[in-house]
């Protein structure tokens, strides 16, 4: 890689930040700044495609310790350079869309600054060459997600969702801090020194990394915060779910995957957690009617699929799906934001309809993004999803995970078709409004649609992928397509059954999948049991045992009551008086002798 790479990379990292700090900062200028940064990021990426070399930039150590010298160090490899270009492209489109979506917000300049800082924090994560620098970006995306989810702070739901996101991510942060501390004590925090030790069995830091990835990437058990984060503005959801925040956990495991190579228990944990997350999130999405929550649970399902690939020792496939998934997931969120904005903030799919006629461009983009998510052949999602299922078929350890993933594939096709049926077709269920599709909205959606169609094919043409020749039966090859068609048929039957029924509010609050899969357990069942046990201990253990034995009642039992003394006399008062009188006479008579 040439000598210009350090300068180009630093310009990419600093140009959005310097633009924000500029006193002449304007919202429209940030869009052009991101375009310039995107063009600059393509130069080292093109060089990487030709040479496949890695490059590291380090400065003089800032802090000297006895075991480690802490410095600022950037690493440029296939992971960081591809991710930087992808994140800049998506943020450019989301920023342009936000200018239209947030036009009535008085603090739109501040909103764009927060989005850009969100991007910068994620770039710090992907380019970090040591755990300290990675942790700075890790905490940065957490702080910015809290501020952006809570953008409309006057809404109590937004406050709750932001707090929920920061608490769940703090659980993951504990794992990352634990791993960093262990590496500082027993190994090295420098990634280049750490990754060459892949022949060693590191169980403790691997557990911390798994914990960090589960919290940040919303895996099963720590996932309820992700659907709740939909209380923020739609551009925030698009950036949060596509190229920042939630992909940081999976990216961490991809970056440090050599630590898992000789660690079969952690790979098995990745496989089980990822497959479970994939199926349950997809099942939960089929029970929802809020369009943004459906897309959010779809993100959780796709992240579980990436985690499954890490469990099968396929980090390249996980990164490929992460890159391709980012484009059509951002497109889905922006299309849903266009629908919601034009329908007077209506998010219930059952109250939409016939938008294919009133908003044809946005509807077309939604169809393309959903088909790419389903794995339609020759769209971008097909190239990564089909490869992942083929890798499962060719493995001998994952028949359970294969079945679970195939079920999730059918369910993903089912909820994607629900979006088609409820939103794009049928009679209009909303009041007649003026649906406007301006250039401000169409241009970013068109760019993302182009990438959702051709990104997979362009990846196949690059030198970053070395395909292997695999021979398999025709029906095995068509397994993913068969499950997708099955999901489409299921969704069509469900729609035909559901259509004659009038729209109603959900009454089945106790359903397992309806409550975002496991939502009741951490948010209702466990707090109820803890509070009930606390009440039981405080009232029965302390009040009935401690206070009654050592309090006023206990003290009262230490004194003998007068009635007990009187009853012990047994009517022998004459004998006592006689004995007393005789004793007194003897005492008086003693001096006389």
Residue spans of the domains in the chain: they are 293-307+317-501, 503-550
Rounded Cα distance between 587 and 589, Å, is 5
- Section 463-480 average pLDDT: 66
pLDDT of 568 reads 52
Is pLDDT of 4 > 70?
no
Give me the residues paired with residue 122 across strands: none
Q: Contact 188/131 with Cβ under 8 angstroms?
A: no
Q: Contact 9/44 with Cβ under 8 angstroms?
A: yes
Residue 155 dihedral angles phi and psi, to the nearest 5°: -90, 125
pLDDT of 187 reads 77
Query: For 549-593, how does the pLDDT look when each residue is reduced to its tens digit (9 = 90+)?
Result: 666 666 666 665 555 555 555 567 777 788 888 888 888 887 776
- Section 432-458 average pLDDT: 81
**DSSP H helical segments within 312-422, as ranges?**
315-342, 355-358, 360-374, 380-393, 399-419
Tell me the percentage of the chain whose pLDDT exceeds 90: 4
For residue 183, give the 3-state DSSP assignment: helix
Query: For 73-114, how does the pLDDT look when each residue is reduced to its tens digit (9 = 90+)?
Result: 888 888 888 898 899 999 999 998 988 888 888 888 888 888
Please identify which residue in the block is written with the tokens 């993903």: 412
Please identify which residue in the block is written with the tokens 């927060």: 114
Quote the mean pLDDT of the chain. 79
Q: Contact 229/272 with Cβ under 8 angstroms?
A: no
**What letter does residue 251 receive in the DSSP assignment?**
H
Query: For 184-220, how does the pLDDT look when each residue is reduced to its tens digit (9 = 90+)?
Result: 888 778 887 787 776 666 778 888 888 899 888 888 8
**What letter does residue 561 receive in the DSSP assignment?**
P
| Residue 153 banded pLDDT, cuts 50, 70, 90 | confident
pLDDT of 22 reads 56
Task: Give the residue, 311 or 538, on which the prediction is more confident.
Answer: 311
Q: Which two tokens stand for residue 456?
A: 């997979």
Q: Which two tokens stand for residue 286?
A: 């089929």
Give me the residues paired with residue 75 across strands: 56
Residue 55 dihedral angles phi and psi, to the nearest 5°: -140, 140
Query: For 504-522, how does the pLDDT look when each residue is reduced to its tens digit (9 = 90+)?
Result: 554 544 455 655 545 556 6
Q: Contact 169/218 with Cβ under 8 angstroms?
A: no
Query: For 321-370, how does the pLDDT look when each residue is reduced to its tens digit (9 = 90+)?
Result: 899 999 999 999 999 988 888 888 888 887 887 888 888 888 899 999 99
Is pLDDT of 400 > 50?
yes
Residue 57 dihedral angles phi and psi, to the nearest 5°: -120, 125
User: What would the 3-class secondary structure string for 145-161 be?
Assistant: HHHHHCCCCCCHHHHHH
- Section 115-136 average pLDDT: 88
pLDDT of 469 reads 57
pLDDT of 506 reads 47
pLDDT of 509 reads 47
Of 50-59, 172-181, 287-296, 399-408, which gets the smallest average pLDDT?
A: 50-59
The DSSP code sequence of 488-519 is HHHHHHHHHHHTTSPP-----TT-TTTTTTTS
Is pLDDT of 284 > 60?
yes
Task: Give the residue, 11 or 183, on which the prediction is more confident.
Answer: 183
Closest-CA residue to 214 (of 280, 156, 169): 169
Query: For 407-437, how does the pLDDT look when each residue is reduced to its tens digit (9 = 90+)?
Result: 888 888 888 888 888 888 877 776 656 667 7
- Section 521-538 average pLDDT: 75
């Amino acid at each position: 890689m040439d000598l210009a790479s350090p300068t180009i990379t630093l310009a990419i990292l600093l140009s959005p930040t310097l633009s924000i700090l500029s006193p002449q900062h304007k919202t429209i200028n940030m869009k052009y700044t991101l375009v310039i940064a995107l063009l600059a990021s393509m130069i080292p990426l093109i060089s990487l495609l030709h040479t496949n070399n890695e490059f590291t930039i380090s400065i003089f150590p800032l802090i000297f310790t006895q075991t480690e010298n802490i410095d600022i160090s950037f690493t440029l490899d296939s992971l960081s350079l591809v991710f930087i270009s992808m994140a800049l492209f998506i943020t450019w489109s989301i920023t342009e869309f936000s200018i239209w979506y947030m036009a009535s917000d008085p603090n739109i300049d501040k909103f764009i600054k927060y989005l850009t800082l969100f991007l910068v924090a994620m770039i710090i994560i992907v380019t970090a060459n040591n755990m300290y620098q990675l942790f700075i970006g890790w905490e940065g995306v957490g702080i910015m997600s809290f501020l952006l989810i809570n953008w409309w702070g006057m809404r109590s739901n937004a406050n709750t969702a932001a707090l929920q996101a920061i608490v769940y991510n703090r659980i993951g942060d504990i794992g990352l801090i634990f791993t960093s501390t262990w590496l500082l004590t027993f190994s090295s925090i420098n990634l280049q020194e750490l990754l060459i030790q892949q022949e060693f069995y590191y169980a403790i830091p691997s557990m911390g990394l798994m914990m960090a990835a589960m919290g940040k990437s919303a895996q099963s058990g720590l996932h309820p915060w992700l659907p709740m984060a939909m209380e923020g503005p739609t551009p925030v959801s698009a950036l949060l779910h596509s190229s920042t925040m939630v992909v940081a956990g999976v990216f961490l495991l991809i970056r440090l995957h050599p630590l898992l190579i000789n660690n079969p228990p952690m790979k098995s944990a990745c496989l089980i957690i990822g497959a479970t997350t994939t199926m349950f999130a997809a099942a939960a999405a089929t029970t929802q009617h809020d369009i943004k929550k459906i897309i959010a649970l779809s993100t959780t399902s796709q992240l579980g699929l990436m985690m499954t690939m890490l469990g099968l020792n396929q980090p390249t496939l996980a990164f490929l799906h992460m890159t391709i998934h980012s484009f059509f997931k951002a497109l889905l969120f922006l299309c849903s934001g266009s629908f919601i904005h034009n329908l007077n903030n209506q998010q219930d799919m059952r109250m939409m309809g016939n938008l294919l006629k009133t908003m044809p461009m946005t509807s077309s983009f939604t169809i393309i993004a959903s088909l790419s998510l389903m794995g339609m052949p020759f769209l971008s999602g097909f190239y990564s999803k089909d490869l992942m299922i083929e890798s499962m078929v060719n493995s001998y350890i994952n028949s359970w995970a294969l079945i679970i993933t195939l079920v999730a594939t059918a369910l993903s096709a089912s909820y994607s078709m629900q979006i088609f049926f409820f939103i794009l077709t049928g009679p209009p269920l909303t009041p007649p409004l003026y649906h406007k599709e301006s250039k401000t909205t169409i241009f970013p959606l068109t760019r993302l649609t182009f990438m959702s169609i051709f990104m997979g094919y362009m990846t196949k043409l690059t030198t970053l992928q070395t395909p292997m020749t695999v021979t398999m039966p025709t029906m095995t090859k068509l397994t993913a397509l068969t499950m997708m068609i099955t999901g489409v048929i299921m969704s069509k039957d469900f729609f035909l059954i559901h259509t004659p029924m009038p729209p109603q509010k959900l009454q089945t609050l106790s359903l397992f999948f309806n409550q975002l899969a496991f939502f009741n357990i951490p948010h209702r069942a466990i707090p109820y049991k803890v509070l009930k046990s606390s009440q039981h201990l405080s009232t029965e253990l302390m009040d009935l045992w401690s206070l009654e034995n050592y309090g006023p009642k206990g003290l009262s039992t230490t004194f003998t009551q007068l009635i007990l003394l009187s009853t012990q006399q047994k009517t022998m008062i004459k004998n006592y008086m006689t004995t007393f009188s005789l004793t007194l006479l003897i005492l008086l008579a003693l001096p006389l002798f």
